[in-house]
Structure 1
Amino acid sequence: MPATSPNSPAPAVADVVAALDTAYPRELAESWDAVGLVCGDPADRVDRVLVCVDPVAATVDEALELGAQLIVAHHPLLLRGVHGVPADTSKGSLVHRMIREGVALFCAHTNADSASPGVSDALAAVIGLDVQRPLVPHVDGADTGLGRIAVLPEPEPFAAFVDRVGAALPATAPGVYGAGDADRLIRTVAVSGGAGDGFLDTATAAGVDAYVTADLRHHPAGEHLEQPGAVPALVGLTHWASEWPWCGQAADVIGQAGNVEVHVSTRCTDPWNVRANGSTK
């Protein structure tokens, strides 16, 4: 979907990077994170971009099939200390393949989580929530930060809310699951794209009715629900599904860089792909 006239020139990688850096400032990234351009020449022209959650073999395949010159991913390819990228390793082989094929890779991770709008805004939007404020505000005191506190237009039973979340997100083999009283009315909701059980106490302190996040672990979730008094009901997602809505948001940002086609990846890169009954995603 070109953002400008077909006669306007294709932007350079650097132009797309500039648009992404404006929307997702790198200073918002956590200190341990690795964001920005991983490989590629900033001067190269780009007429087609693929946006995805994970920079893995499946999405690199998809980019090459589309003829994309740039992949914009949420998760970093090289997050921890790296001392080499030999082609006989899984990540090294992707780097070599992208360089050989002239495909650049840009990653926006925790800076996209904290930006406004960011990953959790996109998650809230597809669920049909009206965002009020960050769950964990950034130190600058603006409307940036991790997670979001939001409200439903009208209260609804928890069981219906879990169905709402499931219908809003792409299907995965594990699906969407809830923990709480099925009849409890839900109006206020905290959401956090990605692994968010570290914010269970924060969601409880915010007084919300439900908390939607990914990678909920048995013990933290169980201990949360056993607390005395009212605590948020929980809606669990897979990590990939919780962050996939951001791809559409990022695609809109990239479209502002010039005459470029932007494609959102249609390939599920969630690692869980087989259920016990034999069904697959």
Structure 2
Amino acid sequence: MPKLSDVIAALDGLWPADRAEQWDAVGLVCGDPDAEVGRVLFAVDPVREVAEEAIRIGADLLVTHHPLYLRGTTTVAATHFKGRVVHELIKHDIALHVAHTNADRADPGVSDALAAAVGLRVTGPLVPDPDDPAGRRGLGRVGELTVPLTLADFAARAARGLPRTATGLRVAGDPEREIRTVAVCGGSGDSLFDQVRAAGVDAYLTADLRHHPASEATQHGGPALIDAAHWATEWPWCEQAAAELDQISDRHGWSLRVHVSRQVTDPWTLHASVPPAPEVPPVPEPDSAPSSSSGAPN
């Protein structure tokens, strides 16, 4: 079996840490570089349920997209859930590695997996990485459909292609609008509206769209908007990343067993829509007015 340091070196080759945003926290969070790795679990969130899954399947390494400590910390005490996750992982000799914005910008990256999940052929990055002469890396992706669809039909395809969540998908735009080109961004994407408008696409699929940026985007006459759950737009990357590590394992003869967590760790658990109003029976027509003017009948 390979050492943890060998596997981390392979992951760093896929998602170099120096391509992460400056504010990000990526790389190895805990783990002994000399420990052997035989089983790896990929997930979006390093939460308690995922740590328990890693323990249950006997994983030696947990790779997540979201950092455990994005803003730093002064303690890993088990008095809060993040410290508890660290304690449980270390207690069971499970390493934790994070690939976040460095995986967003990669080729292939998070948005490539999202585009594939909703049936798009990628034509390039939405925000190209200036350090990539090939023009393939960067944030978001622009893609095209092989056959045009209405917005309603494309939204239905996206709903089928992404993992199901309580909130589902929200759509802004004419349901009959023809969709040929689509920009996608895994995770929060309303900071990229200027680039989306510049791309001239028919629709934009991302997550965490806020009211005012979405309203302004539609008022500018921009693309239709499809807002999915944050977790759902990034989960396809787990399968893509697992397949990449599988290929590396095969080349090196490591015989790693690579798994993808299918636990829904999106925080929203219920969508309470307004029930339809009960049907009100029609009011019967009043009887014909009496011919006498002597007043109301007794």
Q: Is the 8 A contact 1:20 1:253 kept in 2?
A: no
The equivalent of 2:263 in structure 1 is: 267
Q: Is the 8 A contact 1:47 1:260 kept in 2?
A: yes
* SS of equivalent to 1:55: coil
- 1:1-281 matched pairs, under 5 angstroms: 10-141=1-132, 142-227=135-220, 230-255=221-246, 256-257=248-249, 258-276=254-272
Moved more, 93-102 or 240-249: 93-102
Q: Unpaired segments of 5 or more residues in structure 1?
A: 1-9
CA distance in structure 2 between the partners assigned to 1:24 and 1:153 by the alignment: 30
CA distance in structure 2 between the partners assigned to 1:275 and 1:163 by the alignment: 18
Structure 1 outlier segments of 4+, above 6 Å: none
CA distance in structure 1 between the partners assigned to 2:15 and 2:242 by the alignment: 13
CA distance in structure 2 between the partners assigned to 1:121 and 1:164 by the alignment: 17
**TM-score normalised by L of structure 1:** 0.93
CA distance in structure 2 between the partners assigned to 1:182 and 1:176 by the alignment: 13
Shift of 1:253: 2.0
How many corresponding residue pairs? 267
The higher relative CO (CA closer than 8 Å, separation ≥ 6) is in 1
CA distance in structure 2 between the partners assigned to 1:243 and 1:113 by the alignment: 9
CA distance in structure 1 between the partners assigned to 2:159 and 2:7 by the alignment: 33
Shift of 1:277: 5.5
Task: Report Cα offsets for 1:67-119 as digits up to 9, x if no partner.
Answer: 11110000000110211111112211111111111010000000000001000
Moved more, 187-196 or 136-145: 136-145
CA distance in structure 1 between the partners assigned to 2:227 and 2:145 by the alignment: 18
Alignment root-mean-square deviation, CA: 1.2
AA partner of residue 124 (structure 1) = A
AA partner of residue 163 (structure 2) = P
Shift of 1:176: 1.2
AA partner of residue 264 (structure 1) = V
CA distance in structure 1 between the partners assigned to 2:86 and 2:199 by the alignment: 43
Q: Is the 8 A contact 1:133 1:150 kept in 2?
A: yes
Q: Unpaired segments of 5 or more residues in structure 2?
A: 275-298
CA distance in structure 1 between the partners assigned to 2:90 and 2:245 by the alignment: 21
AA partner of residue 106 (structure 1) = H
CA distance in structure 1 between the partners assigned to 2:18 and 2:273 by the alignment: 46
Q: Is the 8 A contact 1:158 1:182 kept in 2?
A: yes
* SS of equivalent to 2:23: coil
Q: Is the 8 A contact 1:148 1:191 kept in 2?
A: yes
